[in-house]
Amino acid sequence: MTPKTKGIKPDDWTIRQLRIIAQYQFGSEFADILSPEGIFVSFSKRTKKVREIIYKEQRLATLRPTDGAYSLGLAGAERIVQKTKSPKRRVVVKTDVAEFIADGRNVFAKHVVCVDPEIQPEDEVVIVSEEDKLLAVGRAKLSAEYMIAFQSGTAVKVRYGIKKLNKE
């Protein structure tokens, strides 16, 4: 493993906890997507709690210390796109703004084409193009209903655009 993604193999109890968190936050099918066999984890030096989930030397997610929920990484988002059908956990944006979103710019409501109807404000979401290509990950600022209804305002605060992954 590279120094950037070092970790240790988690015990069965830790894997079970990670899967329960994924099921609670995203749904039952996400346990194996975000905590597959062969993961490694890194721990916080201060709290000794799981910090990052690493799979094939890529960060799938980070566990937020404030609430213990997942903060998706680009590799985790890519697994979600590959293993679920659209629009599950996705915000689909217009093709003409895809390049800006991939750069890490926020998603505005007027650019949203389709969205998973279960998405609520503050949910972790995957932003994809109309062709279901991963563009970014972020946090919803509006519910799914309002993302479609509104013609102004920020729908998703983007954390990472896919171009960041390509630079690494």
Q: Are residues 46 and 7 in the same domain?
A: yes
State whether 101 and 47 are in the same domain: no
**Coil/strand/helix, residue 19:** helix
pLDDT the model gives residue 157: 97
Q: How much is the pLDDT for 115?
A: 97
In a domain? residue 88: yes
- Domain final residue, candidates 26, 49, 72: 72
Residue 77 within any structural domain of the chain: no
Q: CA-to-CA distance for 98 and 39, rounded, in angstroms?
A: 31
Look at residue 133 and tell me if it is in a domain: yes
Classify residue 84 by its DSSP letter. Answer: S
Q: What is the pLDDT along the chain (168 residues), one digit of tens a residue?
A: 333 457 899 999 999 999 999 999 999 999 999 999 999 999 988 888 899 999 999 999 999 988 989 999 999 999 999 999 989 999 999 999 999 999 999 999 999 999 999 999 999 999 999 999 999 999 999 999 999 999 999 999 999 999 866 655
* Domain boundary pick from 51, 72, 93: 72
Range of the domain at 51: 3-72
The residue out of 47, 72, 97 marking a domain boundary is 72
Coil, helix or strand at residue 13: helix
Residue 102 resides in a domain:
yes
Q: Are residues 64 and 140 in the same domain?
A: no
What type of residue sits at position 149? A
How confident is the model at residue 2, as a pLDDT?
Answer: 38
Strands (E), 33-123: 40-43, 50-55, 58-63, 70-72, 90-93, 107-108, 112-115
95 and 159 both lie in a single domain: yes
Q: Are residues 11 and 67 in the same domain?
A: yes
Q: Number of structural domains, the chain?
A: 2
